[in-house]
Amino acid sequence: MSRIVLAYSGGLDTSVLLKKLILEGHEVIAMTADLGESDASTALQTASASGNPASELEAVRAKALALGAYDAVVIDARDRLVNDHVWPALQANALYQGVYPLSAALSRPLISALLVETAKRFSADTVAHGCTGKGNDQVRIELAVRALDPTLQVRAPLRETPLSRPDAMAFAAAHGVPIAHTAAKPYSIDANLWGRSIEAGVLEDPWNEPPEDAYAWTASPQTRPQAADEIVLTFAAGVPGFGALGTTLNAIDGIAALNVLAGKHGIGRIDIVEDRVIGVKSREVYEAPAASVLIAAHKALERLVLTRDELRFKATCDQKYAELAYDGLWMSPLRNALDAFNASFARRMTGEVRVRLHQGAVTVTGVRSAFALYDEALATYGAGDAFDHHAADGFIRLYGLPLDRIARLKAPVAAG
């Protein structure tokens, strides 16, 4: 018998898992993380929202206890998600394969940290999760657990014995695990404040356009408002502020409000064939309205403030950062080093970015900063030009010297 902390969502799979581990004779503590899914998903659904998030999570906790969990805890990890994962990723403009803002990926190492902390609190020797053997999340969760406490055992029962939907239903019926009486969910969904991912079902054929019912946070082209919204986002030392959306918004509510506003305009729909860590390609659909807007705004501010060399070099590092987050190496020394690298720019990442939200697109319409390297006197083609045009002549002559030399060689160098 072990004492096991299980990452528990309250859904069918992890409920069946909880029961199975209990039947194996273990003491199971159900750990549920609040990562802001309920806050973020008020987008478009406010009217039908089933109640306040706290009571939903309390119901998840009660369900675990009713199933026979030794104990059940709900941990509000929204601040940690935002401060320790989302803002560092924003400062890295983190987009996997150029498009996916890594919402699920960023949350996994945090879930691992919560599992490890809960294991310590309950003197458990094992942590468990409901990932299958096919996805990225098993890699992310387990690498992070090992980085935090290599003495803990990790179990992935759905990898040990894959569980089909009908098997799960049959087991649930036989063992008193409540089955939600909603129609069979056509997709596999994961969501937190930074985005929502939708996979499986009809999406598995990349030729199929995602049906509208795949989306919950973003409006369809038919229902997007005719009129644009324009807002000014502020950045202070690399961290966005949301005063334009409400004077007293904290970061959590600010991201949620931006999800609602940008989602209303249909911004942040992402549809890609992506490369998983384990080597297969998969078709993934995401909704990340706030992430899409904030990354666009952050990049615009960087272009105004950072030097050309900083921008070129940082773009390479940013791509590496996204790959580390995606590949489960969040807890690696390289990611820590890149955070320090990004922090070195943050002092100057203060300013304002005006964005227009309209018909599925975010457009940066203005940017300004006290740290801007942009100098209108140097850039202008109009009156007041302070640029030394004559200096350009000498510059080009020296800059082109190697080309000049090659062209004058007696022995011609093969072109190209």
Our CB check for ligand ARG shows the closer of 105 and 244 to be 105
Is 188 considered catalytic here? yes
CB 117, min distance to ligand ARG, A: 22
Residue among 99 and 228 whose Cβ is closer to ligand ARG: 99
Sheet holding 361-368, edge to edge: 239-241, 229-236, 351-358, 361-368
Q: Using CB under 6 A, which residues numbered 273 to 332 contact ligand ARG?
A: 284
Cβ closest to ligand ARG, residue 28 vs residue 105: 105
CB of 197 to ligand ARG, least distance (A): 4
Q: Which stretch binds ligand ARG (CB under 6 A): 129-137, 153-161, 168-176, 375-383?
A: 129-137
Site string for ligand ARG, 94-113 (x = CB under 6 A): ----------xx--------
User: For residues 68 and 210, which CB has a smaller minimum distance to ligand ARG in the complex?
Assistant: 210
CA distances from residue 397 to 48, 311, 408, 416 in whole angstroms, order as listed: 68, 26, 15, 22
In the complex, minimum distance from the CB of residue 193 to ligand ARG, in angstroms, rounded to a whole number: 15
Residue 9 interacting with ligand ARG (CB under 6 A)? no
Write down the least CB distance from residue 392 to ligand ARG, Å. Answer: 48
Q: Which of 15, 38, 41, 108 is catalytic?
A: 108
Strands 27-34 and 3-7: parallel
From 2, 9, 188, 332, active-site residue: 188
Q: Which is nearer to ligand ARG, 141 or 147 (CB)?
A: 141
123 is catalytic: no
Mapped onto helix, strand or coil, the DSSP state of residue 155 is strand
Query: Does the protein bind ligand ARG through residue 197 (CB under 6 A)?
Result: yes
**Radius of gyration over alpha carbons of the chain, in Å?**
25
289-305 vs 308-326: helix crossing angle, rounded to 10 = 150
Give, rounded to a whole angstrom, the gap between the first and last alpha carbons of the chain: 70
Three-state SS at 341: helix
Task: Tell me if 188 contacts ligand ARG by CB under 6 A.
Answer: yes
- Which long-range CB contacts under 8 A does 197-200 form with residues at least 24 apart? 197/103, 197/104, 197/284, 197/285, 197/286, 198/284, 198/285, 198/286, 198/287, 199/282, 199/283, 199/284, 199/285
Instruction: Tell which positions 335-394 bind ligand ARG, by CB under 6 A.
Output: none
Q: If binding means CB under 6 A, how many residues of this protein chain bind ligand ARG?
A: 10
Residue 306 contacts residue 345 (beta carbons within 8 Å):
yes
Catalytic residue among 34, 137, 190, 318: 137
Q: Are 299 and 128 spatial neighbours (Cβ–Cβ below 8 Å)?
A: no
Could you say which of 13, 137, 142, 287 contacts ligand ARG (CB under 6 A)?
Answer: 137
Decide if 13 is catalytic: yes
If the CB atoms of residues 124 and 325 are measured against ligand ARG, the closer one turns out to be: 325
Phi, psi of 239 (to 5 degrees): -110, 125
318 is catalytic: no
DSSP for residue 212: G
Interface positions with ligand ARG (CB under 6 A):
104-105, 135-137, 188, 190, 197, 199, 284
Active centre residues (catalytic): 13, 108, 137, 188
